[in-house]
Structure 1
Amino acid sequence: MTKRQKIVRVSLIAGVLILVMLLVLASCGGSKDEAKPEKPVVNTGPDTQLNVPDGYNTRRGWEISDVSPQYAVASATGLVAYLARIDESRYQLRTQNAVTGKAGWSGEAWRPLAPVDRYPRLLSLTKGDKQYFVTWSYGRLGEYALASADSLISLDVYDAATGEQRRVEVPWGDAPTVTSAGPGILISDGKALSAVVDPSTGEVSRTAPGSLGYPKGCPNCKKLTEVRGVTSKGLLVSGAKEFWVRGGWFSRKVAPKGTEPTSGVPASMSYGHVLAKWQKKKGAKDAATHEMWVVHALDTGKAVAQVRCRKPAISSGADPQLVSSPDGRYLIAGRLAFDLDEKKGYCFEETDGTRPLTLTSVADTGVAYGATKARNVTDALSGGGNPVQVNLVTGEPEPLALNVRLPAGDATGMGLFRWTDGKDRPHLIAYALREEN
């Protein structure tokens, strides 16, 4: 074979190989409609490896830094929202996919009314089948105000699914309390003055203190009157004793068995429920030492679950705040825990009321975390007290290592942990719940 023939033969072979490769690539292609969906992003884990309970896998998750102290979760969308500082005077609401750690939508940057060294407040709420994130600040009018008053509350309401942003400004005289446990955003002065913002329309409705629908025959209802929350039926209001929904139910008519019907006082709310404290019936052998803590359905007032706890283990000045698991089955509040499906309640303390347990979070698995000997939730999350985990199926607390950091919350199977590094930068870290074998 001549040298020229060899060159021709090699060229032919190379051409055949290229043709084969093109055919293979063509067969692997196809229209976009035929392409297989991409697999979810799998994060190999945050750089920061905290010492956390064994129920979390620190190799799976994500981490963000320089974030606001507060965060909010919309379980239906699987998003975690937080605030980021854009410059010296502007902030931006950003979202993160709770499972993958992939960035979601971001809102427009804005200047809050609060001082520039303070993050605006961040809330979440649900109305019907839609969830919202809400940021708010309070202060004097500035060049960006849309209303005329000496001072006002500026709220930005975001559709949690799309990021659609709505600005609402409400003239308000004194420092407000703003909450979102019901289907509306409640603004109050901590007493009988209130306004409710509809998150879907931005409409603001006010109810005069004299129009709160005081129940007949309830003198205590007109003492220390306070608007406590929003329900789908109307405002939840309380007096020195007893509470009611304006135009709806009255606590005296839904008093749990074995309690004084006129003794109910609401402590806190979560979506769809209110936690109330009741005195035992006079003459009961433990009436002097114990009281009842009861979870009521907000729309009807019906008692869903209850538990007996010692006095004065929980003082009125430190009412426990209800926290729900993402799926809504479990509720925790200080040393109290409830399984709404099983209609069970727990009070985690010794029989004499000592060594109370302060719970910080609860997952859909029914596992809750907290600490004994902690002053409050903030102290427990900062390392105060002795860490504990509780399975709410059995109700048995189990001690954890003293250096374990507790989760501040749970979102779609991810535990959320707060941490501040050596440069005083706040971090939000998510670790995945370990899958059961």
Structure 2
Amino acid sequence: MALVAGVAVLAVLALLILLATWGTDDKRPSATPGKARKAGAAPVTRLTVPDAYDTSRGWEITGVSPEYVIARTTGVIAYLERVDDTRFRLRTLDARTGRHGWAGRPWRPLGDPESFPGLLALAKEDRQFFVTWSYGRTGDDPLTTAGSFVSLDVYDAADGTRQRVEVPWADVPIVTGTGPGVLISDGRTRSAVVAPDTGEVSTVPPQRLGHPKGCAECRRLTAVRGVTSKGLLVSGARGFWVPGGWFSRDRAPAGADPTSGVPASLTSGHVLARWQQKKGAARAATHDIWAVHEARTGRPLVKAECRRPAIEPGEYPQAVVSPGGRYLIAGSLAFDLDARTGRCFEEPDGSTPLTLTTVTDGGVAYGAGGARSAADALAGGGSPVAVDLATGVPEALAPSVRLPAAEVAGVGVFRWTDARDRVHLTGYAPTA
């Protein structure tokens, strides 16, 4: 009897210890990441895709968030799943095998529980991070004195270690992760940058954005556009710059008017900018110069010319980089950063431009002719094409072909929605 009683006491103590420690370490990812997928197992659905992908070998997940992100160097995909009516969880997947990795613990974001939180991926030096963010107040009490703020959960992509950062913010923010830090801005001069490795928050007052000397126009339409390894990227009416670093007028590509630079898109390590040609140039009235600049120094690396649209677009094309970093595409533009070559895929009169969506490490870009945007092309709009960037010759694909939203280690990742409005991610292995 004494022995039985002793065993029972030990069992109760063990249970109490387990309950006491469960959930106390918010930095640890879940130890039960879900059922793993068998590598090479056939996915549930066989889509019509380019010949580069084998639909008999791959993986598929269902019910994921509208957004997903990829750690480029490791091939890990991160996405959000809904746990219940108000809570979400970040989960990871190995794009090569389809096996689940770590999963974060459920949490309740700020704001509307019907909407998924924001999701970002970024790199700082040799480390990859995933970031979820939301905006609002801690409660619905109208008498509370606490202001609104941006709440960020920053995860180390390698093991899921998490830290939470809260930044007071008065208005609806714009949150981006195209550089080595998370940028929170109002779209104008107010900004805050969160370092993903330390959680440190840094701000630069609007009056200290380092407007270049001799550029009075730079003080008009001033806006913080992104984060580089050397600080904020800022633009004005007649140029762009990194405070205390470089100024676009000193970094204009050959043939460009030095006072005309406009940053169009920022990726990790590069700035895509649009320039007008110098007055008197043969095609100054009809064509613009698009250049890829090194973000750290502002040095122009490669350029291409595109016909100027009759009406300025509402938004500039967003740059997309291949997993290995050699190729960069944006709209109808494609650049080989190693070979220092650039192309604009449009007819000589500017008609029927291609809209490129995805570029692989093998130098193949996918897109569509006649699409309104990259999102439209990925949703099936326009006529799908594949372009070998070495030759620059587009190849028409079958009208029913779906374009890959990304390629990771040769695996094509396709996002689609079924008849029940559930989002699917399907990965297909490369064709042998």
| Fold in common (TM above 0.5) | yes
Q: Tell me which amino acid in the other structure corresponds to 2:401.
A: V
Match of 2:195 in 1: 198
2:309 aligned with 1:312 = yes
Q: Find the partner of 1:260 among 252, 257, 262.
A: 257
* Contact 2:39 2:99 (8 Å CA) reproduced: no
Q: Find the partner of 2:373 among 376, 396, 401.
A: 376
Q: Find the partner of 1:401 among 391, 398, 417.
A: 398
Match of 2:106 in 1: 109
Match of 1:173 in 2: 170
Match of 2:39 in 1: 42
Match of 1:294 in 2: 291
* Contact 1:148 1:171 (8 Å CA) reproduced: no
2:345 aligned with 1:348 = yes
Deviation, 1:141, is 2.5
Match of 1:336 in 2: 333
* Distance (Å, rounded) in 1 between the aligned partners of 2:134 and 2:311: 31
Match of 2:134 in 1: 137
Match of 2:88 in 1: 91
2:78 aligned with 1:81 = yes
Q: Name the SS of the counterpart of 2:314 in structure 1.
A: helix
Deviation, 1:434, is 2.1
Q: Name the SS of the counterpart of 2:250 in structure 1.
A: helix
Match of 1:14 in 2: none
* Contact 1:313 1:353 (8 Å CA) reproduced: no
Describe the shift of the 1:313–1:96 C-alpha distance in structure 2 as closer, same or farther (beyond 3 A).
Answer: farther
Q: Tell me which amino acid in the other structure corresponds to 1:302.
A: R
Q: Find the partner of 1:279 among 270, 276, 279.
A: 276
Deviation, 1:148, is 7.2
* Contact 2:78 2:92 (8 Å CA) reproduced: yes
Deviation, 1:234, is 1.0
Deviation, 1:278, is 0.3
* Distance (Å, rounded) in 1 between the aligned partners of 2:135 and 2:398: 42
Match of 1:220 in 2: 217
Identify which range, 154-163 or 314-323, moves more after superposition: 314-323
- Flag as ranges the 4+ runs of structure 1 deviating above 4 A: none
2:62 aligned with 1:65 = yes
Q: Find the partner of 1:361 among 358, 361, 364.
A: 358
Deviation, 1:41, is 5.2
Describe the shift of the 1:344–1:149 C-alpha distance in structure 2 as closer, same or farther (beyond 3 A).
Answer: farther
What do you get for the CA RMSD once the two structures are aligned? 1.6
Q: Deviations over 1:303-324 (max 9, x none)?
A: 1111000011783422010111
Q: Deviations over 1:242-279 (max 9, x none)?
A: 00001101000011111101100000111100000000
Describe the shift of the 1:315–1:415 C-alpha distance in structure 2 as closer, same or farther (beyond 3 A).
Answer: farther
What is the number of residues matched between the two proteins? Answer: 394
For normalisation by structure 2, the TM-score amounts to 0.89
2:50 aligned with 1:53 = yes
Deviation, 1:61, is 1.3
* Contact 1:296 1:303 (8 Å CA) reproduced: yes
* Contact 1:371 1:384 (8 Å CA) reproduced: yes
Q: Tell me which amino acid in the other structure corresponds to 2:217.
A: N
Q: Which runs of 5+ in 2 are unaligned?
A: 1-36
Describe the shift of the 1:289–1:110 C-alpha distance in structure 2 as closer, same or farther (beyond 3 A).
Answer: same
Match of 1:5 in 2: none
Q: Tell me which amino acid in the other structure corresponds to 1:118.
A: S
* Contact 1:75 1:412 (8 Å CA) reproduced: no
2:245 aligned with 1:248 = yes
Q: Percent identity?
A: 61
